[in-house]
């Protein structure tokens, strides 16, 4: 029984470290200054969603990472709910807002997946997807493509992270945090 509790505690620590790294990446100023993500509540949600998506992409093909990936998504959802409450949303409205935000997240995951699976022009399709969902209409031309390029570079860096690194709570993205 005590061994199980110790394992659960260690897993929580790993999930917290992984999630903390994803949050740190999502807070990178280059996302907001160079890649067109608006510095708003929804923009920050989108930035974090992008990094959680990329993490899920990395974990998808590795059976050993399935459980940790789900734990990170659960931590993300918990964080979003806590943020909604901190913004002053009343208790009766929280479940409705959470359903809406979870729907937005999963819609984006499906759209990003579809774009990246396009064998003809994944970067162009991802840029169009980002333009429609994340990058504001008034952003300068080419910003969505820069964000798509950032995501492609980050995906490569996430893919290079070993299973053992992830299971120990680290994502090896290099010093530049995804600028590829």
User: Residue 145's pLDDT is what?
Assistant: 96
Residue 162 has pLDDT above 80, yes or no: yes
pLDDT in tens, 59-111: 998 999 999 999 999 999 999 988 888 887 777 778 888 899 999 999 999 99
Helices vs. strands in the chain: H and E counts, helices first: 8, 0
Cα angle 162, 22, 123; round to 5? 80
How far is residue 85's CA from residue 41's CA, in Å, rounded to a whole number? 13
Share of the chain above pLDDT 90, in %: 76
For 16-30, 58-72, 87-101, 128-142, which range has the lowest pLDDT when averaged over its residues? 87-101
Q: How confident is the model at residue 8 (pLDDT cuts 50, 70, 90)?
A: low
Residue 154 has pLDDT above 60, yes or no: yes
What is the C-alpha to C-alpha distance for residues 128 and 145, in angstroms, rounded to an integer?
A: 8
Task: Look at residue 159 in the predicted model and tell me its pLDDT.
Answer: 94
Distance CA 154, CA 22 (A): 11
- Among candidates 120, 102, 123, which has minimal Cα distance to 112? 123
pLDDT at position 107, please?
96
What is the pLDDT at residue 87?
A: 80
At 174, the pLDDT band (50, 70, 90 cuts) reads low
Amino acid 71: pLDDT: 96
């Amino acid at each position: 029984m005590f061994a199980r509790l110790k394992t659960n505690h260690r897993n929580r620590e790993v999930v917290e470290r992984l999630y903390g790294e994803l949050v740190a990446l999502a807070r990178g100023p280059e996302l907001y200054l160079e890649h067109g993500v608006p510095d708003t509540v929804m923009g920050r949600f989108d930035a974090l969603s992008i990094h959680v998506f990329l993490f899920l992409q990395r974990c998808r093909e590795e059976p050993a990472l399935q459980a940790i990936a789900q734990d990170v998504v659960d931590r993300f959802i918990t964080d979003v709910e806590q943020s909604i409450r901190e913004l002053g949303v009343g208790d009766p409205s929280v479940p409705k807002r959470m359903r809406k935000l979870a729907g937005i997240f999963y819609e984006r995951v499906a759209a990003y997946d579809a774009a990246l699976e396009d064998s003809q022009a994944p970067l162009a399709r991802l840029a169009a997807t980002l333009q429609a969902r994340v990058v504001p209409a008034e952003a300068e031309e080419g910003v969505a493509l820069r964000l798509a390029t950032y995501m492609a570079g980050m995906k490569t860096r996430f893919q290079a992270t070993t299973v053992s690194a992830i299971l120990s709570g680290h994502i090896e993205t290099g010093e530049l945090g995804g600028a590829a």
